[in-house]
Chains A and B, each alone.
Chain A
Amino acid sequence: MADPMRIRAQAAGDKATVRVLMSHEMETGQRKDSAGKAIPAWFIQEVTATHNGKPVLSAQWGPSVSKNPFMQFNVKGAKAGDKIAVTWTDNKNDKRTDEATVS
């Protein structure tokens, strides 16, 4: 099981700013190990976010995204107490979902 994400969501005006820090190797598949063998690709392919269960973001990612990626987005109409959930799926079909409450 992958390590948890850190999600912070803060309401300001009629929107909430969500900041997500994911723990992932994001291996491109281009690098070689000390023995000269290619390190197999391992990266997040899909990221989705929901606001109180309703999808608000869906993104397709590739190997060019950094290790331990950081993502920030705004959700219109989100207020304090709402739930924001973020899910990622990587190319090994590993999944991780974490939820945060808007403050």
Chain B
Amino acid sequence: MKNPILAVLGATLLVASLAQAQTKSAADGIAEYRKMLEDGNPADLFEAKGEALWKQARGPKNATLERCDLGKGPGVVKGAFVELPRFFADTNKVQDLESRLVTCMETLQGFNGAQIAKTAFGKDEQNNVTALATWIAAESRGQRFNLPQGHAEERKSYEIGKRVFFFRGGPMDFSCASCHGEAGKRIRLQDLPDLTKNPGDGIGFAAWPAYRVSNGQMWSMQLRLNDCFRQQRFPFPGFGSDATIALGTYMGVNAKGAESIAPAIKR
């Protein structure tokens, strides 16, 4: 540099930016990366697909899902997501979004619900369930979780979910609580939310379904939970199982008041 004043200024700036880089933690870096990804979240594509599927006449009965009751009356989609899982009188069960969608696909469209539940994630009708769940979740974006706990079955589901959450076992003697039972834990660079209480807006239960950039897949809550069991080296409880729905109730009730940002984007 010809100008000594500029050179000194440049060196000072360099030092300042280095110091700034050091104080920026790994978590900040990830947050920044997420922010950059948010603008083109491919979950949008699944959202559009889900909306089209909702209105499209399909299945053996050639019917749409527009009369599907997600808990707020037939056809009401807005706000349904933040009140699920809940008790449904017609099936006499507590159901989450995805298991409820399968019920609707069975009763309204004539699909074989058991068959869909057995289908591997990311295949055939399971893809459609995920897309529908993505759109329905997106319709409640920005709303706050408020799961009903009025019915005895809903309270039972919460208690079962809590037990499953704290149940230790498997070759690694892990429970959900091993990783998600206190704040400030992480796996490599991923912060793990404390799911025994409200982890905050858009964290944990309030962030799924989410698009995973690393594998280019849209993940629903059921797939998320089944993968947690895989990581614990537990057998999969399976799609729409009582155990995964109860865990959903447990996390959902704990997340009361948290704002839903679903469908989110994950690394």
Interface-located stretch among B20-28, B36-44, B84-92, B231-239? B36-44
Say yes or no: A68-B39 contact (C-beta < 8 A), given A3-B49, A4-B48, A6-B44: no
Majority secondary structure of chain A interface residues (helix, strand, loop or mixed)? loop
Q: Is B216's CB under 8 angstroms from A70's CB? A: no
Interface size bucket, B side? 10 to 19
Q: Is B45 an interface residue, CB under 8 A from the partner?
A: yes
* A21 CB → nearest B CB, Å: 5
With a cutoff of 8 Å between Cβ atoms, the chain B residues found around residue A19 in the complex are: 39-40
Contact for A21 among B42, B49, B213, B216, CB less than 8 A: B42
Please, how many angstroms separate the alpha-carbon atoms of A4 and B51 in the complex? 13
* A44 CB → nearest B CB, Å: 14
Q: Is B49's CB under 8 angstroms from A68's CB? A: no
Those of B27-60 within 8 Å (CB) of chain A: 39-42, 44-45, 48-49
Say yes or no: A72-B48 contact (C-beta < 8 A), given A66-B216, A67-B216: no
Max count, chain B CB within 10 A of own CB: residue among A23, A66, A72: A23
What are 21 A-B interface contacts by the 8 Å CB criterion? A3-B45, A3-B48, A3-B49, A4-B48, A19-B40, A21-B40, A21-B41, A21-B42, A21-B44, A21-B45, A23-B45, A23-B49, A66-B213, A66-B216, A67-B42, A67-B216, A68-B45, A68-B216, A70-B39, A70-B40, A70-B42
Which B residues contact A (CB, under 8 angstroms)? 39-42, 44-45, 48-49, 213, 216
